[in-house]
Structure 1
Amino acid sequence: MAAGIVVLEPAAPPGDLMIRPRDRFHRGVARWMVLALTVLVALTMMVPFVIMILNAFKSPAEYSAHGPLSLPSKLYTDGLVNFWNRVNFPEKLVNSIVISGAVALLGTVVSLLNAYALGIGRVRGRLWIVAIFLFANMLPQEALIYPLYYLAKATGLYNNQLSVIIIFTVIQSAFGTYLLSSVFGTFPPSILEAAALDGASRWQVLWGVVFPISRPTLSVLVIFFFIWTWNEFFIPLVMLIDNRTQTIPVALASLQGDRLMDAPTINAGSLISLLPAIIFFLIFQRTLTRGITAGAVK
């Protein structure tokens, strides 16, 4: 009869039996602490929005009597109607959509062309040019407003939406060029060499190879450029003095006088003005997530 052979595995050291459960416990506690901190930060960020919603449906008399933190006793919608009629909200909405949409598309195209020349074309002095774009993106708008104002006056574009579109296209494309040139600098050379061997020109390489691969990153730039331009206030305030050319943030500022402020109407206007940006973000949220994930995988 063959004797049975029993193989005994070496026993785990006593220290492992004590350390592993403790490690799992500590990791679990750390995750719960991070989750609790994240929820706390999210709730803190939501406080201004909750206060805005409360005051948007509160009458001026109730706001003056009980302050901004009290709950409205009844639903007051006259503030929404007053804002809609006083600033001609549909007109301002169209202006903001046209300006933000044009800047988002033009800024992305200009960023793509610049980054293609710097990141793949290997222009001489590439690092210095990218540094200049980064420096231009860091300049405050207050430092640019005087030359931009006189330039718009000299070219006849003052009080014209085209001037704001051109200005923000250049400003946004400075950041886009810096970002895309860094991405294109790590572009696989084998793909470009294969396209060149097939007889593709530089324009064909750009639109047939580089553009399809970098489409997720470009979609993220379009979303960011649209939202950033939508929220711009200072340059449109200076460049657009006519009521029919102004954007929504400028229209909100027009509700506040030197000595009088209708807080419920301003909160109602802020609520209405925020809805298009939220809807735009919700529509393109999946595109934004895919773009960020694709960039992380690359």
Structure 2
Amino acid sequence: MTAIIAEPAPDRAASSRGPRRDPRRGRRRRRGPSAYAVLAALAALAGIMLIPFVVVVFNALKTPAEYAEDGPLAPPGGVHLDGITDFWERVGFGQVLLNSALISGSVAVLAVLLSVLNAYALGIGRIKGRTWMLALLLLANTLPQEALVYPLYYLAKQLNLYDTRISVIIVFTVIQSAFGTYLLSSVLATFPRPLLEAARIDGANRWQILWRVVFPVVRPTMSVLLVFFFIWTWNEFLIPLVFLISQDNQTVSVALGVLQGQRMMDATMSSAASLLGLIPTVAFFLIFQRTLSRGLTAGAIK
């Protein structure tokens, strides 16, 4: 006899429904009217903030005759680069641009490294007088540069560093690292102690703990400080104006201010100079925009 085994009947309801889908997959969040209103408001605000930049571009591409006839808000009749080329040749903008890039880049890198070392001692090392040192750093951030100009000028004269780029690099490295140390020390003060103890048990010394354990954690914050230090140093005017008196060592902001003070520029050349001074910082910000956004949001994501 042949045994006949009946197969279970397929579930018609299940087959009619088709394969199951994860309800969470493919779900698209719908935006309400309030979200579109916020986006429209932000777009309008961004457009308003771009108006001064557009006006500067318009005036930089005009001739003095067009500026006098049509005013500052009218678009240019064509692309005229006379103001840009005249300013470039008059101040030697290539050398000035190199000076600003060298000073700002050196300050950004050195200030971040110094901030990490100081914050490691204050936040994790817990040295004596930590509270007083943090209060001193906070006080240093609130001091105006006008109060520091004469002591720094006298010290640079005594050390034969006056009218050198290295003097400005040293000054701004210390000034920027005061803020960086205060910020990073508050971050490292909450660093997980079990992680540090595990590294010590594995035989890591202090330098290995710093570069292999602490550094990867604070790297997003360091990238934010690097971008900010570069932009802040690029826009500094008073201390470079006092310390860099020769044209070969001047920065972009100093060259702009000196030439305007001598009344050697018309409106179109002033706009061209402002545009040339603004483009490098905007380009630097756009290049490191993703790094900046990741660093700002890294502390909120675990």
Task: Report matched runs for 1:130-169 at 5 Å.
Answer: 130-169=134-173
Task: Report matched runs for 1:8-157 at 5 Å.
Answer: 28-157=32-161
Alpha-carbon separation, structure 1, partners of 2:259 and 2:52: 20
Count of aligned pairs:
273
- Partner in structure 2 of residue 218 of structure 1: 222
Q: Answer yes or no: is the 8 Å Cα contact 1:255–1:266 preserved in 2.
A: no
- Partner in structure 2 of residue 267 of structure 1: 271
**1:225 CA displacement:** 0.8
- Partner in structure 1 of residue 27 of structure 2: none
Q: Deviations over 1:173-210 (max 9, x none)?
A: 01101110111011110110011112221122111211
**1:140 CA displacement:** 1.4
- Partner in structure 1 of residue 9 of structure 2: none
* SS in structure 2 of the partner of residue 76 of structure 1: coil
Q: Answer yes or no: is the 8 Å Cα contact 1:111–1:174 preserved in 2.
A: yes
**1:99 CA displacement:** 0.3
* SS in structure 2 of the partner of residue 254 of structure 1: helix
State the TM-score, normalizing by the size of structure 2.
0.85
**1:30 CA displacement:** 3.6
Residue 171 of structure 1, aligned match among 160, 170, 175: 175
Alpha-carbon separation, structure 1, partners of 2:179 and 2:163: 26
Alpha-carbon separation, structure 2, partners of 1:196 and 1:143: 45
Unaligned runs of 5+ in 2: 1-29
- Partner in structure 1 of residue 231 of structure 2: 227
Name which one, 1 or 2, has greater alpha-carbon Rg: 2
State the TM-score, normalizing by the size of structure 1.
0.86
Alpha-carbon separation, structure 2, partners of 1:139 and 1:62: 45
Alpha-carbon separation, structure 1, partners of 2:251 and 2:50: 25
Alpha-carbon separation, structure 1, partners of 2:141 and 2:192: 28
* SS in structure 1 of the partner of residue 299 of structure 2: helix
Q: Answer yes or no: is the 8 Å Cα contact 1:58–1:76 preserved in 2.
A: yes
Alpha-carbon separation, structure 1, partners of 2:237 and 2:263: 21
Alpha-carbon separation, structure 1, partners of 2:81 and 2:95: 21
The answer on 1:255 being equivalent to 2:259 is yes
**1:52 CA displacement:** 0.3
**1:291 CA displacement:** 1.6
**Residues 127 and 37 of structure 1, relative CA distance in 2, 3 Å threshold:** farther
**1:272 CA displacement:** 1.8
- Partner in structure 1 of residue 291 of structure 2: 287
**1:267 CA displacement:** 0.9
Task: Indicate the percent of aligned positions where both proteins have the same amino acid.
Answer: 61
**1:146 CA displacement:** 1.5
